[in-house]
Amino acid sequence: MDKFRMIFQFFQSNQESFMNGICGIMALASTQMYSAFDFNCPCLPHYNLAYGLGILLVPPFILFLLGFVLNNNISMLAEEWRRPQGQRGKDPAVLRYMFCSMAQRAMIAPAVWVSVTLLDGKCITCAFCTLVPVETLGNASHLQLSQGEVQRVLARIPCKEIYNGQQLIANEVAVRYLRCISQALGWCFVLLMTTLAFLVRSLRPCFSQAAFLKCRYWSHYIDIERKLFDETCAEHARSFAKVCIQQFFEGMSTDLVAARCHLPRKAPADAAEAAEKLLGITDWGTMNMALKSWHRCKPPLHLHPPALSTGNGWAGEGQPPTHPSAPRRETAAYYSWV
Amino acid sequence: MDRFRMIFQYFQSNSESVINGICGLLALASVKMYSSFDFSCPCLPQYNMAYGLGVMLVPPVILFLCGLILNRQSLVMLEEWRRPQGRRKKDLAVIRYMCSSIMQRAMVAPVVWIIVTLLDGKCLICAFSGSMDPEKFVGFANVSTVQVQQLLAKVPCKDDELMRNNTSRKAVSRYLRCWSQALGWTILLILIIAAFLARWLRPCFNQATLLQARHWSNYIDIEQKIFEETCCEHSRLFAHKCILHFFESMRQEIKLHSFSLPKEGEGAEGEEDLLRGITDQDQVNKLLKSWYYEKPPLDV
């Protein structure tokens, strides 16, 4: 029991660190995705904003959904939410707790993408290069350019090779300005996210610790119960299949014996077990017939109890000795973390 | 029992080394973050100071908060602080001890960031190049005030066309970097001396109180862990009983509704036990449907 408890505790702590590890991996993956992505600003007035903001906002949304998809517990949450009440009440606080903890973990990779994007600066430079204050940073008044022309020139700021507005505003000045704004936004975003996380984590013990403990217990319970039910069903299916197949072979062998009118030979004691395992099928033809019958005409999903098995009346020897009852299996350690 | 105790002690010492490990990892992460961060001074008069000081001071706040969030003990301490007294007295010395140990560990990464920033020098050059006295540097001495501000603001940008080969720019840059590095080393020295003194002089004051506080803070931490583990174990056993109950009640229901003769106890008992009286497709389907539509009450 002690050993069992130790293993269980190990898995319990390990599952939590496993989930945290998945979060960390997704965050690293999002950084890697960003550095592998070949950012290519279109440098055209109306396309820049769409492209820049698209790269800033669409991948986080994808990563957020991916965070939910990769979380095994989402199906458990959906099941608990949609099940009919039946004899067991539903507690919305538990559902909220499960959803919140999944959402918090799914938010990490998108937040990392947005931070890395803002701190790098390319997206904001691309998106807002047409809004650079040319009056303060450059020489707007010297050149007689129409508004549209100015926009077109400014849109080329991210593309240094084709930039032709050095007299209007120096490329480095504009890029440094935009990057400074982008990095300031990035650090503010990271600070905001960290402060929110800190507040959420530290205010909870101050206000609703008892409710939190309750929700955590019942969400663990639901997860463990589902896993245990699956394992019990699997065990049942295995036994069902075993008995079904045994009865199939017994039926076959009884039929064969009836057809051939052989008297059964009493197998010597030491070969009894081997003979039993053969289930009365001892030659090529019979085996082929058994296999064909298994394919063409599977037995119904209905086990008859052994005492009433359909012998042909011939079976004067009664049942072959049954196996000693299998020792009850130790159920495996279960872990749950939502 | 001995083995259990050994593992228990391992976990106990391990949680402290886990926290120390996290602290070290955060410090390394802060160095890595700084080196991968692309520092780009705006080189504009009003923006330089805000950018330079912002990069020097905002990430330490973030790292401090991260240090608090990642430390499990901070939750334990908060719970102990906010719990109703009940039948167990609260000892403020223990809470203070836990708080100070958490803060000390959380301060490592921010301090590392600030020191790395100062030793590198870019932040201070960016923030204070505009505040230099132009008279001290030949290249900026005879320029009008407005222009000198613009020029000084461009000092951190080596590649700017105005500043490319300007010797005065290099002079200002070296001057500021020298101050920055001096400040960095001084802060490092002060902190290390303070840590050294604190560790050496602590046994001279209140050692007994300290030992008590440390013991009880360990105790609270372990008690919390064991409570969580016991709850998990309990929920597993509860679930097991609940499911067995459910299968049993299914078996009773089937016995009531079917007309099969009751079996005697012999036969393949092992398998029969596992089959729990559910022996055909319809019964299995009924069981699964009933599990979904009418989960059994939480009452074993």
In tens, the pLDDT along A227-272 reads: 888 888 898 889 888 888 888 888 877 877 777 655 455 555 556 7
Query: Is B282 among the domain residues?
Result: no
Q: How far apart are CA B112 and CA B110, in angstroms?
A: 5
pLDDT of residue A326: 40
Q: Which amino acid is at B177?
A: R
Q: How many residues does chain B have?
A: 300
pLDDT of residue B267: 45
- The domain of B46 spans 1-204
pLDDT of residue A270: 58
Lowest pLDDT segment from A291-305, B59-73, B181-195, B231-245: A291-305
B247 and B107 belong to one structural domain: no
The whole-angstrom distance between B201's CA and the closest CA on chain A is: 33
Query: Is B279 among the domain residues?
Result: no
Query: Is A133 among the domain residues?
Result: yes
Select the more confidently predicted residue: A143 or A332. A143
Q: How far apart are CA B41 and CA B38, in angstroms?
A: 10
- Give yes or no for a contact between B192 and B76, defined as CB atoms under 8 angstroms apart: no
Question: String of b and e for A131-159 (b: at least 16 CB within 10 Å)?
Answer: ebebeebbeeeeeebeeeebbbbbbbbbb
Query: Is B300 among the domain residues?
Result: no
Query: Is A114 among the domain residues?
Result: yes
B79 and B109 belong to one structural domain: yes
Q: How far apart are CA A43 and CA B81, in angstroms?
A: 57
Q: What is the CA radius of gyration of chain A?
A: 35
B70 and B192 belong to one structural domain: yes
- Give me the residue label for tokens 């000084």: B152
pLDDT of residue B102: 93
Query: Is B118 among the domain residues?
Result: yes
Query: Is A95 among the domain residues?
Result: yes
Render pLDDT for B36-85 as a digit per residue (tens, 0 to 9): 999 999 988 889 999 999 999 999 999 999 999 988 889 889 888 888 88
| Residue from B3, B79, B129, B236 to probe the interface with A (highest A Cβ count within 10 Å) | B236
User: Following CA atoms A43, A46, A48, A54 in sequence, which dihedral angle do they give, to the nearest 10 degrees?
Assistant: -150
Query: Is A228 among the domain residues?
Result: no
- Span A293-309, mean pLDDT? 70
- The domain of A25 spans 1-208
Give the end of a domain, one of B204, B226, B243.
Answer: B204
- HSE, CB side, 13 Å, CA atoms: give it for residue A278: 13
Question: String of b and e for B257-268 (b: at least 16 CB within 10 Å)?
Answer: eeeeeeeeeebb
**Count of A-B CB contacts under 8 Å:** 196
Query: Is B74 among the domain residues?
Result: yes
Chain B residues closer than 8 Å to A245 by CB: none
- Total tally of structural domains belonging to chain B: 2
The whole-angstrom distance between B172's CA and the closest CA on chain A is: 20
B134 and B34 belong to one structural domain: yes
B4 to A6: CB separation less than 8 angstroms, yes or no:
yes
Phi, psi of A213 (to 5 degrees): -60, -40
Render pLDDT for A173-220 as a digit per residue (tens, 0 to 9): 999 999 999 999 999 999 999 999 999 888 887 777 888 888 888 888
Task: Provide the whole-model pTM.
Answer: 0.79
- Give yes or no for a contact between A224 and A336, defined as CB atoms under 8 angstroms apart: yes
pLDDT of residue A323: 41
Query: Is B215 among the domain residues?
Result: yes
B114 and B126 belong to one structural domain: yes
Q: How far apart are CA A216 and CA A236, in angstroms?
A: 30
User: Following CA atoms A107, A113, A116, A117 in sequence, which dihedral angle do they give, to the nearest 10 degrees?
Assistant: -130
B156 and B17 belong to one structural domain: yes
CA angle A59, A201, B195 (to 5 degrees): 105
Query: Is B237 among the domain residues?
Result: yes
Query: Is A258 among the domain residues?
Result: no
For residue A62, CA distances in Å to A47, A54, A56, A68, A279 come to 22, 12, 11, 10, 57
B70 contact A CB<8A? no
B135 and B243 belong to one structural domain: no
Looking at chain B, which residue has its C-alpha nearest residue A175?
B42
Which of B3, B54, B69 has the CB atom closest to A187's CB atom? B54
pLDDT of residue B165: 77
Query: Is A319 among the domain residues?
Result: no
The span from the first CA to the last CA of chain A, in angstroms, equals 25
Query: Is A215 among the domain residues?
Result: no
CB-based contacts of A12, cutoff 8 Å, min separation 6: A335, A336, A337, B228, B229, B232
Question: String of b and e for B23-44 (b: at least 16 CB within 10 Å)?
Answer: beebbeebeebbeeeebbbbbb
Q: What is the CA radius of gyration of chain B?
A: 34
B126 and B248 belong to one structural domain: no
B182 and B136 belong to one structural domain: yes
Query: Is A321 among the domain residues?
Result: no
pLDDT at A39 over 70: yes
- Span A297-315, mean pLDDT? 59
The whole-angstrom distance between B126's CA and the closest CA on chain A is: 12
For residue B25, CA distances in Å to B8, B22, B33 come to 25, 5, 12
Query: Is B262 among the domain residues?
Result: no
Which of A183, A232, A303 has the CB atom closest to B279's CB atom? A303
- Give yes or no for a contact between A70 and A64, defined as CB atoms under 8 angstroms apart: no
Pairs from B19-24 (Cβ < 8 Å, separation ≥ 24): B19/B71, B19/B72, B19/B73, B19/B105, B20/B105, B22/B70, B22/B71, B23/B67, B23/B105, B23/B106, B23/B108, B23/B109, B24/B108
- Total tally of structural domains belonging to chain A: 1
B47 to A177: CB separation less than 8 angstroms, yes or no:
yes
Q: How far apart are CA B106 and CA B99, in angstroms?
A: 10
B142 and B242 belong to one structural domain: no
Q: Could you tell me which residues are beta bridge partners of residue A302? A: B280
| Residue from B274, B289, B290 to probe the interface with A (highest A Cβ count within 10 Å) | B274
B146 and B243 belong to one structural domain: no
